């Protein structure tokens, strides 16, 4: 029933409206709550924690720059060549040991290869893979790095650099978790031999690749005021399991068979999701307004002061139009 005067009952309409609005606000924020969005500096104590926690053990941070790789460079000669020769003299960087979007061999790319330009002369990725859009969306919505909000350009650039490093560098394949030559014999978490019949093995995962500490520290500085998922101490793969859609096949999972591919023409749903939320809010406000109007009309009727009155069929000099029926004469007319 609609709340009508006396005024002692007026609070009921507010009690009815507030849960609706609260529900809408909850729906708009539930994803952020599930992701546990926080500032980078509230998730990671330092650059070491960022590089080691975010990528689920793919990297280990090393302070000595002569014993660690960098994810980006501007030199004509790849500085990681020397690092591999020192740390993995028997490793083969003439092949692309990771297998997913990767090429079989690192080969030169053309002049359109600009996003991941440090690897232009010897790249394990193609220009189609190595563009800013595809680097972000190719693994599905759950792996978008800006699920907690738009990142600053300085912060996002580090995510692009890491993606270029993973997709394009021939050196990272030495640290393939199953089948990488750099696996320490004493490390039971990796193997130098890939066993296709072993359900725990895959061809795309990286394990304990040494990364320069100064690079990781710079990453945290660049992202200090940005927001990121804090699930499992900011683990990228744990965050990916917080699904914004009910389609588990639209993103890669930590499985032996590797991630599920999303076609390169996939577009981001971020703006669509915002539009849907806005539409829901607008429709809810309209619905609440209509309910309020109906209640107002009913209350006026009960008080003997209706907003609408019946047509006066017996006014002198007034006759019913020839095409009208008796029932038509009782249609309300606004006063």
pLDDT at position 309 is 60
Better-scored residue on pLDDT, 290 or 197: 197
Over range 9-15, report the average pLDDT: 35
pLDDT at position 293 is 76
pLDDT at position 335 is 39
Rounded-to-integer distance, Cα 118 and Cα 18, Å? 55
pLDDT at position 244 is 59
Q: How confident is the model at residue 132 (pLDDT cuts 50, 70, 90)?
A: confident
- In 3-state terms, what secondary structure has residue 213? helix
pLDDT at position 310 is 56
Residue 200 has pLDDT above 90, yes or no: yes
pLDDT at position 65 is 96
pLDDT at position 208 is 97
pLDDT at position 290 is 78
pLDDT at position 288 is 72
Lowest-confidence segment of 42-51, 206-215, 285-294 by average pLDDT: 285-294
Nearest to 120 by CA among 158, 58, 74: 74
pLDDT at position 322 is 40
Residue 41 has pLDDT above 50, yes or no: yes
pLDDT at position 283 is 81
**Mean pLDDT for the chain overall:** 78
Contact status, residue 268 vs residue 144, Cβ threshold 8 Å = yes
Residue 60 has pLDDT above 80, yes or no: yes
Residue 250 has pLDDT above 60, yes or no: no
Give per-residue pLDDT as tens, 21-38: 343 333 334 345 578 999
Contact status, residue 106 vs residue 94, Cβ threshold 8 Å = yes
pLDDT at position 123 is 97
Residue 142 has pLDDT above 70, yes or no: yes
Residue 213 has pLDDT above 60, yes or no: yes
pLDDT at position 21 is 37
Better-scored residue on pLDDT, 44 or 292: 44
Q: Is the Cα dihedral 231, 237, 241, 247 positive or negative?
A: positive
Give per-residue pLDDT as tens, 269-327: 444 556 677 777 788 777 777 777 777 667 766 666 666 565 554 444 444 344 333 33
Task: Tell me the DSSP string of 173-188.
Answer: GGGBTBT-TT--TT-T
Lowest-confidence segment of 19-23, 167-171, 187-191, 317-321 by average pLDDT: 19-23
CA distances from 116 to 6, 89, 162, 268 (A): 71, 26, 10, 21
pLDDT at position 286 is 76
């Amino acid at each position: 029933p609609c709340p009508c005067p006396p005024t002692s009952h007026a609070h009921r309409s507010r009690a009815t409206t507030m849960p609706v609005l609260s529900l809408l606000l909850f729906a708009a924020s539930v994803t952020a709550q599930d992701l546990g969005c926080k500032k980078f500096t509230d998730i990671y104590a330092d650059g070491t924690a960022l590089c080691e926690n975010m990528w689920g053990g793919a990297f280990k941070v090393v302070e000595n720059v002569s014993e660690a790789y960098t994810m980006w460079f501007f030199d004509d000669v790849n500085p990681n060549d020397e690092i591999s020769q020192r740390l993995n003299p028997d490793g083969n960087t003439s092949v692309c040991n990771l297998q997913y979007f990767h090429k079989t061999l690192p080969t030169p790319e053309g002049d359109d290869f600009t996003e991941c330009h440090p690897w232009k002369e010897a790249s394990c990725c193609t220009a189609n893979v190595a563009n800013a859009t595809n680097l972000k969306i190719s693994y599905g919505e759950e792996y978008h790095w800006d699920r907690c909000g738009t990142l600053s350009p300085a912060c996002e650039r580090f995510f692009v650099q890491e993606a270029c490093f993973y997709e394009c560098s021939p050196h990272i394949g030495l640290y393939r978790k199953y089948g990488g030559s750099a696996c320490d014999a004493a490390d039971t978490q990796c193997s130098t031999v890939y066993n296709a019949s072993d359900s725990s093995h895959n061809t795309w995962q990286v394990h304990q690749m040494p990364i320069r500490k100064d690079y990781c520290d710079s990453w945290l500085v660049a992202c200090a005021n940005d927001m990121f998922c804090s699930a499992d101490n900011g683990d990228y793969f744990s965050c990916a399991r917080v699904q914004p859609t009910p389609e588990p096949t639209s993103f890669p999972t930590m499985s032996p068979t590797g991630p599920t591919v999303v076609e390169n023409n996939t577009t981001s749903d971020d703006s669509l999701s915002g539009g849907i939320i806005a539409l829901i809010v607008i429709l809810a406000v309209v619905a609440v307004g209509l309910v309020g109007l109906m209640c107002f009309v009913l209350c006026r009727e009960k008080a003997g002061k209706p907003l609408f009155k019946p047509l006066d069929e017996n006014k002198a000099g007034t006759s019913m139009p020839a095409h009208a029926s008796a029932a038509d004469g009782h249609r309300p007319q606004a006063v």
